[in-house]
Structure 1
Amino acid sequence: MDNNEDIKQLNFQDYLRIIRKGKWIIITSFISILSLTVYYTFTAKQIFETKTKILIEDPNQKNKVTPGQFLLEGFGRDTKLTNQMEILRSNIILGEVADSLMNSPFKNRLEILGNQDKDIKEKSSFLSVLVTQLQNKARAFVNKFLKRENESSNNNNSISISSTISPTQISSKKQNLIKSLKGSIGIKPLKESDILEITVRGASPFEVAFIARVITEQYKRNNIFYNKNEISSVKKFIEASLQRIQTDLRNSEELLKQFKETENVIALESEVESLIDQLTQFEVLEINAQTSYLSTQKQLDVLKSQLDKTKLNLVDVMANASSPKIVSLREEMLALDRIIATYIASGIEKTHERISALKKKRDFIRKDLIAETKRFINSELSPQDPLNYSQELVEQILELEVKAESEKATADAFRDVVQTYSQKLQSLPEKSLQFIRLQRSTQVDEKIFLLMQEKYQEIRIQEYSQTGNLQIVDAPTEPKNPVSPNKRLNILLGAIIGLAFGVGITLLLEFLDDSIKTLQDLERLGFKVLGAIPIIETERKAKGARTTVQLTTAMPAKEGEAEGETVAPRRVETRLITYLNPRSPISESYRIARTNLQFLLSNKDKPNTSKALVITSSNPGEGKSTTVSNMAITNANAGLKTLLVDTDLRRPVLHTVFGFRKDIGLTSILSGRISLNDAVLDTGIENLDLLVSGALPPNPAELLGSPKMSEVIEDMKKKYDIILFDTPPTIAVTDSSVLASKVDGCVLIVYSGVTTTDSVKRAKAILANVGINLLGTVLNNVDIRSHYGSYSYYYQYYYYYSGDKKLKDRKGSKRKSLYRYKYGKYGYGGYGGYGGYGGSSPGYGSSYGYDADRDGDKNS
């Protein structure tokens, strides 16, 4: 089973165990990220923000009918506001804002400008500064003149040039400032309204309020300028036409006067007079239509130039817009214009029902023509180049183009009528004809002059009434508090992110960790679990703490010591917890493992059959020797005559654990130098004998697999109830596999948190390949504090078995007593050391090990 499957089966207690195990990672992550967040929060530059709101009014609601309402007429609220947002972000508006900021008397207080002027001056060489100063003396005079002109026409909106900065440097600085402005402003429409909200962020309250005011002022000024631009072009055209017509009128009047005086002509016949009046009327209508057509063309030129700045190819697309339907609609509209002009020429009043009906039909066809043309233009554009921002401008151009075509058709129709009447006058005498021409010219010029004067006054009124369609709803104000950094939010987020990051790293490490940690891990892999040996933290031991204990009971003499001599007390390693402290919870865990093993080995048919078992592990350093020693002691304490054999002929350990030398042992028996009875050592523990490794051979595997070894094992079974063999790791060498094939079963020791799933599987496979009976596993070095609920019986056992009433009453004493033991990598408390025992440890102190008067209190 892979890690993914294991992770999916994690329960709440598993998560608590993982978090407890990674507590230092979580704490470190929490403190580190929170500290960095706090440092950043209190050292970061403060950001202030102000907002202003602008209402985009609909000109149609204000009954303003002006030619070419640029940026005023839209197809809907969303489109109109989107267009205005794009205009606000455009380089034109922001460029004018940049100019105002750079020339403001408050520019030294604006951090957005930085110290660019100062840097440029310092980097300029003496020669370049001298040349620049000479150039700017000339510019100063020009700027002074331009400033006066701008003050009278543009309300003091002038741009002065620095006396020490070249135009190229100014352009570069302006471009950088425009980029900064784009990054510091935000624009969004308010829902269900025609209001734009402009947000400005900056380094100080004054700066953001000042920039916001400049933006709104420049935006409003630009809006008024564009709305007046088309009217101004028409006004100039009418002014020029008015002056020309006035001159023509004077000339016509003077010629008529001279003719009358010379030829003594006073008046014409009534019939001729009527004809002249009609001709004059039609000429005025023609000139009026022609003048309207030229005015419309002027507006078109202005709008097309504006459109050409934003959409370079759109003007050409519109000019070539043609389809069968467009051609048909255009011809139908022009035909109606000619019919209307003909009816008017025939004497029918403009308000006649027939003419009104024709005009309605013409207007309807005109709307269809505009809509069809717009659809054609959209179809010709690529998806990456929609109308969007230019949508309103395109609509105006289409309307004016249709209007211009209609006016031209009307002018052509009236011209045809004028030509017809002119031909009628050709039959008159030359003198009368000349008089008629002069009189008619004077009348036409007079009527046109009056008409143009009327139009001129109308256009002036429209120009003066044009104040734009913007209204500032909320003026920008200086904010009192910064919007960034948000100290409370940053610290809260830092704490959350720190915890989340620590927990995430812990879970990731757990996911990547393939080691066996719990009994459930072994069970999921299909192993029988005989028991779990806990690790219980001790207090930190002082440097040089002992790892051996001096026994008060004398052990058998070592080799070479004569019987009857005074034998010094043996020092055995403190990893023998089942002997030194049999009432500890760790000792009980060994007894549980022993009981489970006896149950597996029980044979109803042969209840007293001797059993030989191999105790091995996957890799070195998994507590195998410690486990087999304590299991041997628990079996001996149960009344079973037990032999513990050190068959690790490469790195033997058991002789050190029990305080013996390894000179004579198993290899001595296998080599025929000594018998089993002579080689076995009495450990001083009832029912427990020890057979050490002996001298280390060059071929351990061959020696353990020899027929002699089989004979020795059979001899051992005759004398002992249970024989436990301590063997090398299974994966490292073949010694354990060779020996396990000769015994009744094998027990695999697994080191919790160290032994990987792959190692356990490989060890199991190696043993299965040679047909070894794997009885089960013992999980070693389990941190019971990290496994909530799984190993609570250890606490329950210790609490019940100790029976110390004072221990129960003292707050926290139970936990403190339990935590005084540490199970090291090779045994208890380091390499075989079981910490210090003293008088405070219940059931131990004066009975075992140290001299109670001298060492007990010292190591408690």
Structure 2
Amino acid sequence: MGHEPVMENPSGRLINTEDFSSEEESIDIHYYLWMLRRGKWIILICVLLGLLAAGWINMTTVPVYSSSSTFIYNTDNSMARTLDMPVSSWFQMDAMRNDQIYLINSRTLAEQVADSVLQSPDADSLIAVLFQGDIPERQYIRNSLAGLAQSCVSVSWIKDSDFFVLTGTGYTPEASAVITNLVLHVYYRWNRLQARGENREVRLFLEEQLNLVSSQLADDENALLVFKETNGITDIDAETGQLINRLAGFETQMRAAGADREAARVRRDYLTELLNQQRESVEVEISDANSAYVDQIQRDLARYESARASLLAQGAAPDSDPVTAMEQNIETRRQELEEALSEISEMDYPYEPRRGMENLFSSLASAEADFRSSSARKQALQHELDLMSAGLSELPDMEYQLVALERNRTVSENIYILLRTRFEEIRIAEVGQMGNVTIVDTALSGSMIKPTTRRNLIMGILVGFALGIGIVFMLNQVNNTLRSPEQLEKMGITLLGVIPQFSIKKSTFLLAILESPKSPSAEAIRDLRTSMSFVRPGEGISKLLITSSGPQEGKSSISSNLAVAEAHAGKRVILIDCDLRRPVINKAFGFQRKPGFTELITGQATVEEVIRKTDIPGLSVICSGHIPSNPAEIIESAVRQEIFNRIEEHADLIIVDSPPAAVVTDAVSMAPSMDSVLLVSRSGKVQQKVVQGVWQKLLRTGAHLSGAVMNDFDPISSYTSYSYYTYRYQYYYSGKS
């Protein structure tokens, strides 16, 4: 078992240094609670200031209102397909949702909102609501509206759902609802327009072709009518009619294939542009996608289309088995071509999980396959048509012209009917395409979100409370004065007594033990007397020097009251006032200063002449005498020890009241000639470092140091872990005996 580290204090007692270190490192919750109680007024003031600041913020903050709407964004894939997705597709869906958030917050959509407001018949009222009368100049109104839509609207996705919440803010409840609904409906229209984009492009193409074919049909009909009237032809024979029908049928199929080819090209170009917009780093050109396998498929398609055209040219019905089988082969090869093109495009342009463009690539490959397949059909039909047209050269000139005119009219009519049918089909498909967005709730008049009155008040209280605690702790940290008995003991100084605050008038405080013998202060002096009796057991103390670190710490009061207490204990006590700078002992007992210690040292008076008896049995006093100009030299006089020896013949105990040791050297020079030294330290008055420095200075003289007494300690308002002091103070202060 190891030995505990110990040290010896000046009184000879052993001190366990581990106990001190553990005390310093331990956290005393009671100390912090005391500190908070002591600084309660600071904390209360800070809390009130925090409340005032919160109130000021609440009164000066411009109110802001918030309104919300909800919508559903459905991804292209249904849940059933989602369950069969690869893992990366879940990230696709998240990326698509994130894209919608970016889109709603984009400058492009904000400008569309601005245009929507400016084009509205209620533009003036909408602008007045949004800007609350502070309307920008006309040239800046569009940019201001766009900035408002972009800065005042936010969108969030509700996790594990397809629901989104669109939130707008404004300076009035109506403004927040208006801006939210404007952004919501513009986004809804934009999404629907994008969903219809592919069909819209094809519809516009078919509409343009319809106008051209309609005009061409009118011209062809007019030309045929003029020819018949001019030549007196009212009807054509059956053989010529059959020839015309065959030629018109082939040309109709050829031109229909050409129309399909152009529609597929329009779709392909639209999808390519859309894909390139989303893939900023790489441009997609699927029309350049080729391979040996793709070339083989295209040759097969051309061969099958040529064979189909030949069958039809030979008079085979469109629903005959050979033609149907050939069409099945064509469709199979077209699907193979689509798959091959899709694989090539995805290999050339690697998949980006964030963008989620799987459906775009699939649609693009389908459009390109349709384009190449229609091109092959048109080429095959054109070849057969050229062969059939070559036989017309053998016809008479008038019949040749009639056949040509009738064929043109019939082809134009058939093409018009075909285009009209497809136009209606694509128009219906476009109208039926509603997009991915479904509005669930539109925004209503908003509720106020700023200032948050209750939260601001709570924050004001919390901030004020925290600030108050911080100030209390800071003041406690910067306050290095001696405040508690424990601090003395942590310096290694023996604590002999704690004197509480005097509760009597200042003019009589030096003799509190006489003025208020039952007070806590008087009882503390008696405790000090008892403690002093155990300082040097067996040897006793005949000369006691009492000093302090600095002025106004109560050393003269402690000297006077301790002298009275010792006299009450039956000792012959002589109290000597050796403070030749600010003597006060004579005032406490009502004597004149002269003759006194100065006269005794200088030989102007004898010991018997300077000793003055008091009304207290056993207590005599030697006053300071006149105040010399060289008090240090008087104190350090060579005859001082001889004089003390002569005074000692008249008393059992000499108590010497000396000047503060940190200010002058009187106490330090007298300490070695005394039996013991008592240091008085006043609570809240002296710095801890000063006390420690004085103690070390006295130690270096080789004098015997009894310990220290803490003066003017308030156990109620000051902290101590020794509940004994607090209990005793309350006991006496309440008048109990």
TM-score by length of structure 1 reads 0.67
Matched, 1:453 2:428: no
Instruction: Mark the CA change 1:729 to 1:114 in structure 2 (over 3 Å): closer, same or farther.
Output: farther
**Structure 1's 108 and 178: CA in aligned 2 closer, same or farther, altered over 3 A?**
closer
Number of the residue aligned with 1:219 = 187
Q: Structure 1 pair 332/259, CA: closer, same or farther in 2 (3 Å)?
A: farther
1:358-397 deviation per Cα after TM superposition (whole angstroms, max 9, x unaligned): 5555454455445445536x5xxxxxxxx96xx36x6666
Q: How far 1:521 sits from its partner (Å)?
A: 2.3
CA contact (8 A) 2:546 2:678 kept: yes
Aligned-pair distance for 1:54? Answer: 2.0
Give the match for residue 564 of structure 1: none
Provide the rounded CA distance (Å) in 2 between the counterparts of 1:297 and 1:667: 121
Q: Match of 1:287, as an amino acid?
A: G
Letter of the aligned partner of 2:202 in structure 1? V
TM-superposed CA distance for 1:6, in Å, is 7.7
1:597-621 C-alpha deviation (Å, 9 max, x unpaired): 221122x2x3xx4432332333333
CA distance in 2, matches of 1:270, 1:280: 15
CA 672–211 in structure 1, closer or farther in 2 if over 3 Å, else same: same
The one-letter amino acid paired with 2:208 is A
Query: Could you tell me which residue of structure 2 aligns to residue 81 of structure 1?
Result: 97
The 5 Å alignment of 1:250-265 reads none
Which of 628, 633, 643 is equivalent to 2:574?
Answer: 643
Deviations 1:108-137 (A, max 9, x none): 973x514434xx7xxxxxxxxxxxxxxxxx
Q: Secondary structure at the match of 1:583?
A: coil
Specify which of 150, 164, 167 is matched with residue 199 of structure 1.
Answer: 167
Between 266-275 and 341-350, the greater mean CA deviation after superposition:
266-275
Looking at structure 2, the residues matched to 236 and 537 of structure 1 have their Cα atoms a distance apart, in angstroms, of: 105
Match of 1:528 among 491, 494, 497: 494
Matches of 1:622 and 1:460, distance apart in 2: 104
Q: How do 1:431-446 and structure 2 match up within 5 A?
A: 431=394
Identify which of 197, 209, 227 aligns with 1:241.
209
- Structure 1 pair 718–458 and aligned structure 2 pair: CA distance change class (3 A): farther
Equivalence for 1:113: 131
- SS at 2:530's partner residue? helix
Name the counterpart of 1:590.
525
Q: Secondary structure at the match of 2:605?
A: coil
Q: 1:687 aligns with which of 607, 610, 618?
A: 618
Give matches, 1:12-411, under 5 Å: 12-38=29-55, 40-41=57-58, 46-58=63-75, 77-97=93-113, 104=123, 106=125, 110=129, 112-117=130-135, 165-167=137-139, 169-171=140-142, 174-175=143-144, 177-247=145-215, 280=251, 283-284=254-255, 287-300=258-271, 303=274, 307=277, 314-315=279-280, 317-319=281-283, 332-333=293-294, 335-347=296-308, 349=324, 358=333, 361-369=336-344, 371-372=346-347, 375=350, 378=352, 391=355, 398-399=361-362, 401-411=364-374
Of 219-228 and 581-590, the range deviating more from structure 2: 219-228
Q: Distance in 2 between matches of 1:791 and 1:693?
A: 38
1:464 to 427, 431, 439: 431
Deviation of the 1:406 alpha carbon: 3.4
| Conservation of the 8 A alpha-carbon contact between 1:333 and 1:365 | yes
Q: CA RMSD in A?
A: 4.7
Give the distance between the partners of 1:412 and 1:355, measured in 2 at CA. Answer: 13
In the alignment, is the contact (CA less than 8 A) between 2:284 and 2:349 conserved in 1?
Answer: no
Give, in angstroms, the shift of residue 584 of structure 1.
0.8
- Give the gaps of 5 or more residues in structure 2: 1-16, 81-88, 309-322
Task: Classify the secondary structure of the residue corresponding to 1:116.
Answer: coil
SS state of the match for residue 207, structure 2? helix
Alignment of structure 1 residues 668-687 onto 2, 5 Å: 668-687=599-618
- 1:667, CA displacement in angstroms? 2.8
Identity of aligned residues (%): 25
Per-residue deviation at 1:531?
1.5
CA contact (8 A) 2:510 2:556 kept: no
Compared with structure 1, are the counterparts of its residues 179 and 336 closer, same or farther at alpha carbon in structure 2 (3 Å cutoff)?
same
Deviation at 1:349, TM superposition (A): 4.6
Question: Helix, strand or coil: the match of 1:730?
Answer: coil
Rounded Cα–Cα distance in structure 1 between residues aligned with 2:544 and 2:345: 101
Distance in 2 between residues matched to 1:366 and 1:698, nearest whole Å: 117
Map residues 376-775 of structure 1 onto 2, 5 A cutoff. Answer: 378=352, 391=355, 398-399=361-362, 401-411=364-374, 413-414=376-377, 417=380, 431=394, 448-478=415-445, 482-485=448-451, 487-535=453-501, 547-548=506-507, 573-602=508-537, 604=538, 606=539, 609-775=540-706
Report how far residue 718 of structure 1 moved: 3.9
Pairs aligned (count):
686
Per-residue CA distance 1:300-334 (angstroms, 9 max, x = gap): 476379x3xxx7xx54x221799xxx998866556
**AA partner of residue 581 (structure 1):** S
Aligned residue for 2:320?
A: none
In the aligned structure 2, how far is the partner of 1:678 from the partner of 1:433? 175
What letter matches 2:487 in structure 1? Answer: D
| CA gap 1:353/1:462 in 2 versus in 1, 3 angstroms | closer
How many Å apart are 1:58 and its aligned residue?
A: 4.7
Q: Distance in 1 between matches of 2:54 and 2:658?
A: 55
Aligned letter for 1:319?
E
- Which consecutive residues of structure 1, in runs of 5 or more, have no partner in the other structure? 64-72, 121-164, 379-386, 539-545, 549-572, 803-813, 819-841, 843-860
Counterparts of 2:291 and 2:638 in 1: how far apart (Å)?
117
TM-score (norm. length: structure 2):
0.77
Q: Residues 178 and 674 from structure 1, CA distance in 2 versus in 1: closer, same or farther, beyond 3 angstroms?
A: farther
Is residue 499–residue 712 contact of structure 2 (8 Å, CA) maintained in 1? yes
